[in-house]
Amino acid sequence: MDILIIGSGGREHALAWKCAQDHFVNHVFVCPGNAGTHLEDKVSNVEIDTNDFKSIENFCIKEDIKLVIIGPEQPLVEGLTDHLQSKGIKTFGPSKKAAQLEGSKTFSKDFFKKYNIPTAEYKSFEDYDSALNHLNQIEYPTVVKADGLAAGKGVIICSCKKDAEDALISIFKDNAFGSAGSRVVIEEFLEGEEASFIAVVSKDKIVPLATSQDHKAVGDGDVGLNTGGMGAYSPAPIVNAEIHQKILNEVMFPTMEGLIREGYPYLGFLYAGLMIKNNNIKVLEFNCRFGDPETQPILIRLKSSLVELCLSAINEKLDSYSIDWIDKHSCGVVIASNGYPESYDTNKEVKIKLNEDGDLKLFHAGTKYKNNKIVTSGGRVFCATALGNDLKEAQKKAYNLVDDVSFEGSFFRKDIGFKGIK
């Protein structure tokens, strides 16, 4: 069978790489893909704009695509799943309505409240003056969030009132996040350790994937601006058996049941970003997709077929699906372009002297293949991912792989996995 993956990041390279491993998969197309998916065996890129739903539909029909997996949030929030499913094309990803869990922070916070899902206290505002007034009534630090999609950059941690005022000015007055900032959520600052809990969900059935932990801040020791994620590892020891069960009972099941009650049951990867402290969990956010870079270290550990898993979910047979993992630890280190998450250069030629073996994989993200060369095209450029018998070994191998890659202005965090090792 042939498969189509939508997206162009490291997550999509990992999804395509994994799908291509199944002997029953003939070919994997990636729209639009990157240099990594272009160079992968049994995988090729398709140049269609991901906003052009009709052309994607036509491509699926022409190529007799048996499964579409949508990677990023934007096409999900805009309803690509609904469009393709209405044409009878098997698509793995939530509907436009269910994707509101990520598409609007006000929607998700109101949903948490309605269904008693633990989260930070919050208030939502549609105008500058009432948001500003609210700043007199709260404690600091506080967190100001643009309501809509902002590529992981719409969250501003404010240590004092002045910072929060600046955040409101940048969102409401300077339009820093465009229409994503037409509403703002101001919420309680939570302390603790973060973890990512990602599962495959189909209505009331769930298959949790291996646990993981991302590193959101740009700098070592979690300092500096928030990014889409600078590296991740799996499993995350903070999610012990007791916490795992609590997450299912207090977060995942109530969310799945709530969505069914609202009339839009979930299908797809469901990602809860959690803050954990003293065995208490609170939801920071939901994502309606697989995490990036969590996908890379999680999929390198997945023994089972991802294609069968997604098809079981679509066909409502998830309860009979059992999933196997490679009993090792994994670590993925993002190599980024100087300046990221703010402005950065592109079009830098990449040199790779690769010694990949079964335990190592260099996933591409912001890369393009141009004139037989790999050049940079994004802020996060690669995710060097490795398996090891313990996290320390996985970390060491991932950093050795990082050393095999060079381009002008590259940088990476030196401490990916430090909390897991500690």
Q: Kindly list the residues in this chain that would bind ligand AMP in the complex (CB under 6 A).
A: 120, 143, 145, 152, 155, 157, 187-190, 194, 216, 226, 273, 284-285
Binding partner of 235, given ligand AMP, ligand GLY, none, CB within 5-8 angstroms per partner class: none
Minimal distance in Å, beta carbon 102 to ligand AMP? 9
Q: Are 379 and 336 in contact (CB under 8 A)?
A: yes
Angle at 228 between CA 109 and CA 333, to 5 degrees: 135
Give the nearer residue to ligand AMP in terms of CB position, either 170 or 226: 226
Phi-psi region of 290 (alpha: psi -120 to 50; beta: other; left: phi over 0): beta
Binding partner of 284, given ligand GLY, ligand AMP, none, CB within 5-8 angstroms per partner class: ligand AMP
Q: Residue 152, interface with ligand GLY (CB under 6 A)?
A: yes
Give the nearer residue to ligand AMP in terms of CB position, either 82 or 194: 194
The C-alpha atoms of residue 298 and residue 311 are separated, in whole angstroms, by 19
The C-alpha atoms of residue 140 and residue 271 are separated, in whole angstroms, by 28
User: Is beta strand 65-70 parallel, antiparallel or unpaired with respect to 2-7?
Assistant: parallel
Burial 237-272 (b: 16+ CB within 10 A, else e): ebbeeebeebbbebbbebbbebbeeeebbbbbbbbb
The C-alpha atoms of residue 270 and residue 264 are separated, in whole angstroms, by 14
Site for ligand GLY in 220-239 (CB under 6 A): 228-229
Which is nearest to 278 in space by CA: 342, 401, 193, 177? 193
Tokens representing 396 are 């060491």
Binding partner of 138, given ligand AMP, ligand GLY, none, CB within 5-8 angstroms per partner class: none
The C-alpha atoms of residue 384 and residue 131 are separated, in whole angstroms, by 42
Binding partner of 147, given ligand GLY, ligand AMP, none, CB within 5-8 angstroms per partner class: none
Q: Are 36 and 13 in contact (CB under 8 A)?
A: yes
Minimal distance in Å, beta carbon 230 to ligand GLY? 9
Binding partner of 291, given ligand AMP, ligand GLY, none, CB within 5-8 angstroms per partner class: ligand GLY
Give the nearer residue to ligand AMP in terms of CB position, either 185 or 387: 185
Q: Residue 214, interface with ligand GLY (CB under 6 A)?
A: yes
Please give the size of the binding site for ligand GLY, defined by CB under 6 A: 8
Task: Report helix, strand or coil for 322.
Answer: coil
Give the nearer residue to ligand GLY in terms of CB position, either 152 or 192: 152
Which is nearest to 195 in space by CA: 421, 422, 419? 419
Minimal distance in Å, beta carbon 86 to ligand GLY? 27
Binding partner of 292, given ligand GLY, ligand AMP, none, CB within 5-8 angstroms per partner class: ligand GLY
Which is nearest to 164 in space by CA: 191, 138, 127, 201? 138
Minimal distance in Å, beta carbon 291 to ligand GLY? 4
Contact residue for ligand GLY among 18, 294, 348, 398 (CB under 6 A) = 294
x/- string (CB under 6 A) for ligand GLY, residues 253-292? ----------------------------------x---xx
Interacting residues with ligand GLY (CB under 6 A): 152, 214, 228-229, 287, 291-292, 294
